[in-house]
Chains A and B, each alone.
Chain A
């Protein structure tokens, strides 16, 4: 039964979506039949009622508002910034839709939760890393979007488009170098600065299966004149020379804390969170995009299959992809917008990968291909790099 339709009358003379009207017809049919068999008559109101109560008192209140649940990152300031830049303005623009933010630590954990509620999802939307979303798409946890309901999709960058119309990219991030500004007087400019003996014992890199180490392998492969899909041997050989200089392959509690406190001087990290940490630490930590370029990380916004509020959810997706919302979130947290029409201040643009000259240096990554290699790369790293 489609539960898109709130139980109350259509407010403000508004029209219910087509699906809801179909349901109306179904109920009428049930009622007509019930003249002969009165059990369905008894059951019809019960099911109708339970449809409402299952949706929950919070989902579809009597005043006709729909509450959609958005699962997204809990950490690194994402939640606060996203609510401020996207969720609240959305609610102001769409008074009939409320958004409940369901914070989860990582994309992997999101997939875990979505797997357990696959048959009866309570979440409508999820923002997660593209590589994880690919698995969820294949498992049938997400469903393709309706292009008519999400017109902003057509203005997205090529990097943000996902096969078969599944949830597209909503933010771009990139791998970067961060350093402690007290300990490091000359800012690093190249990934090769990691091999500078001055940093010996003061380097932090999150090793595979984390994307940081995977990304570094890709970048080095290209820098050494090869291609990561052909062979990573040259990159691994070079990384092996770096291994003795590395303090930790698993920064705890996280990279930013170690760099800010000076325990680590130079580290691999993600641009958006690093920019935020730079501002919040009054410049104790700084970020650079090395001249050789980098890899992009894409977060996609996905529609959960079997979700009961698909139409409201797609209204939100369209808003999240709109140039305004994209620009606001970029200004708040330095994720580059995926909508090519988003207008961002030059100062903000300089701190993301969205400037054309920076975009040019980004190395294209085949995430589906890479996902297949991830376990193997992890093992190669452990055997040939970390053990050094």
Chain B
């Protein structure tokens, strides 16, 4: 009796869960899965001549992309930019996140809101903001030259430097949010215990706080990395046509050269790349957690 009632209860629960999940799954299916399937199908078509789309089932777009030396360069550049921005954004956000996770200040709510507030503005607007701040006669260059540090204005826009600066700032709120969530389980008691056993502040941070916060750091890093590698707006607006990443390449192929199969193939490859990094992240996460 108890067994059967439990199983029927489980059945009801499962039915309820299915009913509750259905709208969400349907929405995801329509807005996410269907376009992805369409994209994958498009990548199998062929482009004939300049930009004539021909329905087909062929891997020629993939072969083209993978045998194109320039595409490998673009992919390498994208990864390099992703790693650099991730390291910088996480490094700059870590102290802020740790402080916000720890502080008992009454202003904590306000400070949290301030840290996340940039997300309220689109990254287009923020990139244009950086374009103005970093331009030859912008506030950064004029401050530096007034102080006599530089004679000629530094070229901080229309190149990769500008892209990195803007991307790091744009990614910070994501890194901070992800890390705060991950820091939740770093107990203050452990640090106190280490202190009472004679560890100095630095040692305490290196041996206790930092290792315990690693899962949060990893989550933040993954988030920033994925967002940076797929970032399109900032490299496009800030790069002055000199910064080529996979996302801008997809845009050019899709909207200017009109080679949709090639653009789709690139998008699918980028998605696979994300998959690889997701697996790596999970491995790393388990390693860190398992210690």
Using CB atoms and an 8 Å cutoff, list the residues of chain A in contact with chain B.
106, 108-109, 111-112, 115, 131-132, 134-135, 138-139, 201, 206-207, 209-210, 247-250, 252-253, 263, 368, 371-372, 374-375, 378-379, 382-383, 386
Contact = CB atoms under 8 A, between A and B. Distances in A.
A239 to B, nearest CB: 13
Q: How large is the interface on B (under 10, 10 to 19, 20 to 34, 35 or more residues)?
A: 20 to 34
A247 B50 contact: no
A240 B244 CA distance: 18
B50 A374 contact: yes
B108 to A, nearest CB: 38
B258 A132 contact: yes
The 5 closest A-B pairs by CB, nearest first: A249-B241, A371-B50, A250-B241, A248-B240, A135-B51
B237 interface: yes
Contact of A247 (B49, B158, B236): B158
B252 interface: yes
B240 A247 contact: yes
Contact of B241 (A111, A207, A372, A374): A207
A139 B241 CA distance: 31
Nearest to B131: A252
B241 A379 contact: no
Contacts of A383: 70
Contacts of A253: 128
Interface in B38-55: 49-53
Contacts of B236: 250, 252
Given A135-B50, A378-B257, 6 more contacts: A111-B258, A249-B242, A372-B49, A375-B257, A378-B252, A382-B244
B237 A106 contact: no
A249 B256 CA distance: 15
A209 B197 CA distance: 65
27 contacts: A106-B255, A108-B255, A109-B255, A112-B254, A112-B258, A115-B260, A132-B51, A135-B50, A135-B51, A207-B241, A209-B256, A209-B257, A210-B256, A247-B240, A249-B240, A249-B241, A250-B239, A252-B128, A252-B131, A253-B128, A368-B50, A374-B50, A375-B259, A378-B252, A382-B70, A386-B241, A386-B242
A209 B49 contact: no
B70 A138 contact: no
Contact of B158 (A132, A248, A379, A382): A248
A371 to B, nearest CB: 3
Interface string B47-72: 00111110000000000000000100
Contacts of B252: 209, 378
B230 interface: no
B135 interface: yes
Nearest to B132: A263
A247 B260 CA distance: 30
A252 B237 contact: yes
B258 A135 contact: yes
A372 B244 contact: no
Contact of B256 (A108, A134, A252): A108
A138 B52 contact: yes
Contacts of A248: 158, 240-241
A263 B135 contact: yes
Question: Interface centre among B51, B52, B131, B158, by most A CB within 10 Å?
Answer: B51
B101 to A, nearest CB: 38
Contacts of B53: 115, 135, 139
Interface string B224-259: 000000000000110111101000000010111111
A162 to B, nearest CB: 15
Contacts of A138: 49, 52
Contacts of B254: 112
A382 B257 CA distance: 15
B50 A134 contact: yes
Nearest to A386: B242
Contacts of A378: 252, 257
Contacts of A379: 70
Nearest to A138: B52
Contacts of A135: 49-53, 258
A131 B158 CA distance: 29
A108 B150 CA distance: 44
A282 B128 CA distance: 25
A372 B70 contact: no
Contacts of A372: 49-50
A248 B156 CA distance: 12
Contacts of B255: 106, 108-109, 112
A374 B258 CA distance: 11
B92 to A, nearest CB: 26
Interface string B11-47: 0000000000000000000000000000000000000
Nearest to A141: B53
B50 A250 contact: no
A219 to B, nearest CB: 19
A5 B49 CA distance: 39
A243 to B, nearest CB: 10
Nearest to B244: A382
Question: Interface centre among A132, A248, A379, by most B CB within 10 Å?
Answer: A248
Interface string B108-151: 00000000000000000000100100011000000000000000
Contacts of B131: 252
B258 A108 contact: yes
A210 B49 CA distance: 18
Contacts of A263: 135
A170 B257 CA distance: 23
A60 to B, nearest CB: 32
Question: Interface centre among B52, B236, B258, by most A CB within 10 Å?
Answer: B258
A108 B51 CA distance: 10
Contacts of A131: 50
Contacts of B70: 379, 382-383
A86 B131 CA distance: 39
